[in-house]
Copies of this chain bind each other. A is one copy, B any other.
Amino acid sequence: VTTTISPKQQALAAIAELIGDAGIVALDDGERYLVDHRSLYRGRPALIVRPASTAEVADVVKLCNGAGLKVVPQGGNTGYCGGATPDTGGDAVLLSLERLRGVREVDPVGYTMTVEAGVVLAEVQRHAEAADMLFPLSLGSEGSCQIGGNLATNAGGTAVLRFGNARELVLGLEVVLADGTVWNGLRALRKDNAGYDLKQLFLGAEGTLGIITAAVLKLFPKPRARETALVAVADVDAACRLLALARRESADAVTSFEYLPRFALDLVCRHIEGAVDPFTERHRHYALIELSTAASAARLDEQLRSLLEQGLEAGWVIDAAVAQSEAQRGRLWRLRESVPEAQRAEGGSFKHDVSVPPARLAEFLTRGLAAVAAAAPEARACVYGHIGDGNLHFNFLAPPGQALKDFFASHGERVSDAVLGLAAGLGGSVCAEHGVGQLKRPLLTRYLDPVSLRLMRQMKAALDPNDTLNPGKVVPPPVP
């Protein structure tokens, strides 16, 4: 009697052998790898591996690619779109980058840092700060998300207005390609036109074209002064005008400009311990504004005062609460940062992560709310976010007493059609900062133009002809 071992089984055995016990997670112990952050998906991989080096990542990918196995890379598993969760087919290797935790170099002359993919974002920030510099990427999940995942998803966050998305914070990458080849693009150069800028292929591609194992990051001078204010504004249009003025008045020191409606502030004050509305009067719209600078001789306080005075005169600003201490600053930021948690406490939200050109924001909000009010009059709008980037989280809660799932099972499609169709019609994006993953792949088929889809498929076919890397993510399948 001969037992036949398939090529896939052989490859899995070779991987287990190669990586060793410390790098293998038993599927039964793998809950935190198998289920995504929002509990939308549960993957069923053949194996969970945690390689300890770039060379080990390369070996795993090579073995998988040769045997017809798939590879699903995973960072901190904090994504919103199931981009790091394998399907249930059982022929994927879930590859966690969490053991690649080296900080290879911090360069205070060149303002760069070279880190491995598994370093947690907050850790990157701390290393920069320890060297009197700033790594400006900042998001809610920074305590657990990993820099490799941030780069693979081109993460946004609250400082995009001044410093750009994750893509713009990278000078070089090291990447494991679909056949297991290591591409060493770890250059720390501000100017390099020696051929195509290959790192761009992998930034934001969510592991479908290559697996990022290390990166050279751009650093900036550490801010020495900061001014933070919660400003009651007349409406979203007023907020946008105030932003344009703020950029001008402050030498582009506006690092954050976030929008909150009354409803979101109420939710936060209701559900988050210690959260208090800093105004005595109730207003309808708020902007959280932060200016910061590394200059020693700056006059940020004067700039903010002048900005608010001009805003008052123009009728854009109604009232303002300016933080007088780091503690007060923390409390203002908490009002903004607690919105997701407050939504969860209220029963969860039906989310849309959309962006439009800033000049269309007011129109987008007005028309979007009207369209949803027509499609689902009882839905409660909680629209907030990074107004400075034209990026609103266009979320809706179920009516009080109704379960989110039930309500949006019947109303969700019409609501989404209204919001996403309008965003696309205004020249916007239906996936602004949270990426595509598996959740939003159908949106691309619907809202992206055929030429873009064709280009994406051409790139995928060219760089990963066997569809080894993160299959079923980002790139929509050809229409049959």
Verify B196–A459 contact, CB threshold 8 A: yes
Given A168-B164, A195-B474, A306-B296, verify A189-B244 contact (CB < 8 Å).
Answer: no
Counting chain B CB atoms within 10 Å of each CB, the highest count among A167, A296, A306, A391 belongs to: A296
The prevalent SS among residues of A at the interface is loop
Query: Digit string of A62-104 for contact with B (CB within 8 Å is 1, else 0)?
Result: 0000000000000000000000000000000000000000000
Query: Digit string of A307-325 for contact with B (CB within 8 Å is 1, else 0)?
Result: 0000000000000000000
Distance (Å) between the CB of A294 and the closest chain B CB?
5
Verify A251–B253 contact, CB threshold 8 A: yes
Verify B451–A462 contact, CB threshold 8 A: no
Verify A194–B448 contact, CB threshold 8 A: yes
Distance (Å) between the CB of A237 and the closest chain B CB?
9
Residue of chain B at shortest CB distance from A184: B449
A220 to B177, CA, bound (A): 37
Copies of this chain present in the complex amount to 2
Distance (Å) between the CB of A258 and the closest chain B CB?
13
**Chain A interface, number of residues (Cβ within 8 angstroms):** 101
Which chain A residues numbered 458 to 480 have a C-beta less than 8 Å away from chain B? 458-459, 461-463, 474-475
- Residues of the B chain whose Cβ atoms lie less than 8 Å from the Cβ of A390: 110, 189-191
Distance (Å) between the CB of A387 and the closest chain B CB?
11
Residue of chain B at shortest CB distance from A440: B194
Verify A192–B432 contact, CB threshold 8 A: yes
Residue of chain B at shortest CB distance from A429: B192
Given A109-B359, A455-B196, A462-B462, verify A191-B389 contact (CB < 8 Å).
Answer: yes
Given A153-B193, A204-B193, A436-B194, verify A188-B251 contact (CB < 8 Å).
Answer: no
* The one of B109, B244, B444 that contacts A358, using a Cβ cutoff of 8 Å: B109
* The one of B183, B191, B355, B449 that contacts A160, using a Cβ cutoff of 8 Å: B191
- Residues of the B chain whose Cβ atoms lie less than 8 Å from the Cβ of A279: none
One of A7-15, A297-305, A395-403 contacting the partner = A297-305
Verify B474–A196 contact, CB threshold 8 A: yes
Verify B306–A302 contact, CB threshold 8 A: no
* The one of B132, B205, B248, B451 that contacts A221, using a Cβ cutoff of 8 Å: B248
* The one of B156, B189, B193, B357 that contacts A188, using a Cβ cutoff of 8 Å: B357
Verify B251–A294 contact, CB threshold 8 A: yes
A293 to B253, CA, bound (A): 10
- Residues of the B chain whose Cβ atoms lie less than 8 Å from the Cβ of A458: 462-463
Q: Which residues of A are in contact with B by a Cβ distance under 8 Å?
A: 107-112, 132, 153-154, 156, 160-161, 164-165, 167-168, 177, 181-185, 187-198, 200-201, 203-205, 209, 220-222, 240-241, 244, 247-253, 293-299, 302-303, 306, 355-359, 386, 388-391, 427-436, 440, 443-444, 447-449, 451-453, 455-456, 458-459, 461-463, 474-475
List 14 A-B pairs, Cβ < 8 Å.
A109-B240, A110-B359, A185-B452, A190-B390, A191-B389, A191-B432, A193-B431, A201-B459, A221-B247, A222-B248, A247-B294, A248-B294, A249-B295, A461-B462
